[in-house]
């Protein structure tokens, strides 16, 4: 006997496919107690991440850091652009390499950390170049984006249902963010409000609204599913 869903071979005693959990039904076979063909708890084999691997990763980040430091000192007699390089390396280390230290990196923790690191890097660039765009522009925009993205991944991770609502709401929030960006550009650089953000706002709100409509209306959802073949 074979699973009708995934085709794995089944013992006559199996009530459920051990692989895909499809309920096994055969009108002629009466199930007794017996030895199943597969062990009950398949634990995926996970190789522990080695210390040597971490060492190599840190080494890969340290090499450009040291070379950049030496070149900057040799050619300019002082540290000029080295801070930008160090910040960029640190930022990529935090976003790419740091989650590897953990057995099961939780995006609900790492994504806000990544945004915090990016915001700090922007602050550094702003201070280093004598700009005045961090507080009025970069911080609120990045902060709002961090809030939206973190909310989405938190909801996706801890809610089993309602993905259409989550994505729909997120698109609408991003539409609102474009208006905020246009407004803050005016405040920061004195740019005229010509209303360009109106177009992405309308597009994103319509798209988000369509997703929420699909979430509410199951008949429309089924029809869309049939049209898109999923
Ligand atoms: Zn199966």
Residues 113 and 148 in one domain: yes
At residue 46, the pLDDT reads: 59
Q: How far is the CA of 23 from the centre of ligand 1 (A)?
A: 8
Q: How far is the CA of 164 from the centre of ligand 1 (A)?
A: 28
Asked whether 34 and 10 are in contact (CB, 8 A), the reply is: no
Residues 110 and 198 in one domain: yes
Residues 37 and 59 in one domain: no
Residues 145 and 216 in one domain: yes
Residues 35 and 130 in one domain: no
Residues 114 and 173 in one domain: yes
Q: What residues make up the domain containing 157?
A: 106-230
Q: What is the 3-state secondary structure (H, E, C) of the chain?
A: CECCCCCCECCCCCCECCCCCCECCCCCCCCCCCCCCCCCCCCCCCCCCCHHHHHHHHHHHHHHHHHHHHHHHHHHCCCCCHHHHHHHHHHHHHHHHHHHHCCCCCHHHHHHHHHHHHHHHHHHHHHHCCCCCHHHHHHHHHHHHHHHHHHHHHHHHHCCCCHHHHHHHHHHHHHHHHHHHHHHHHHHHCCCCCCCCHHHHHHHHHHHHHHHHHHHCHHHHHHHHHHHCC
Residues 164 and 226 in one domain: yes
Question: Average pLDDT, whole number, for the chain?
Answer: 88
Residues 163 and 78 in one domain: no
Q: How far is the CA of 1 from the centre of ligand 1 (A)?
A: 11
- Structural domain total, the chain: 3
At residue 111, the pLDDT reads: 93
Q: How far is the CA of 155 from the centre of ligand 1 (A)?
A: 30
Q: How far is the CA of 227 from the centre of ligand 1 (A)?
A: 27
Residue whose C-alpha is closest to residue 138's, from 117, 166, 119, 125: 119
pLDDT tens digits for range 162-215: 899 999 999 999 999 999 999 999 999 988 888 999 999 999 999 999 999 999
Q: Which residues surround ligand 1, an ion (CB under 5 A)?
A: 3, 5-6, 17, 19-20, 22
Q: How far is the CA of 119 from the centre of ligand 1 (A)?
A: 47
Q: How far is the CA of 32 from the centre of ligand 1 (A)?
A: 20
Say if residue 158's pLDDT is above 80.
yes
At residue 49, the pLDDT reads: 62
């Amino acid at each position: 006997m074979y699973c009708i869903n995934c085709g794995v071979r089944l013992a006559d005693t199996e009530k459920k496919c051990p692989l895909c959990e499809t309920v096994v039904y055969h009108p002629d076979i009466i199930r007794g107690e017996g030895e199943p063909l597969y062990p009950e708890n398949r634990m995926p084999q996970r190789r522990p991440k080695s210390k040597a691997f971490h060492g190599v990763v840190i080494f890969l980040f340290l090499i450009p850091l040291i070379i950049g430091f030496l070149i900057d000192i040799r050619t300019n007699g002082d540290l000029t652009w080295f801070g930008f390089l160090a910040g960029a390396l640190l930022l990529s280390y935090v976003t790419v390499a740091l989650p590897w230290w953990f057995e099961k990196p939780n995006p609900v923790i790492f994504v806000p950390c990544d945004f915090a690191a990016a915001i700090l890097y922007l602050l550094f660039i702003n201070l280093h170049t004598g700009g005045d765009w961090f507080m009025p522009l970069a911080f609120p925009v990045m902060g709002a984006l961090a809030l939206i993205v973190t909310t989405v991944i938190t909801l996706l991770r801890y809610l089993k249902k309602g993905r259409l609502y989550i994505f729909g709401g997120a698109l609408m929030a991003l539409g609102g963010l474009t208006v905020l960006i246009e407004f803050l550009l005016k405040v920061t650089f004195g740019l005229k409000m010509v209303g360009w953000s109106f177009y992405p706002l309308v597009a994103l709100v319509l798209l988000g609204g369509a997703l929420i409509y699909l979430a509410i209306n199951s008949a429309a959802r089924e029809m869309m599913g049939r049209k898109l073949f999923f």
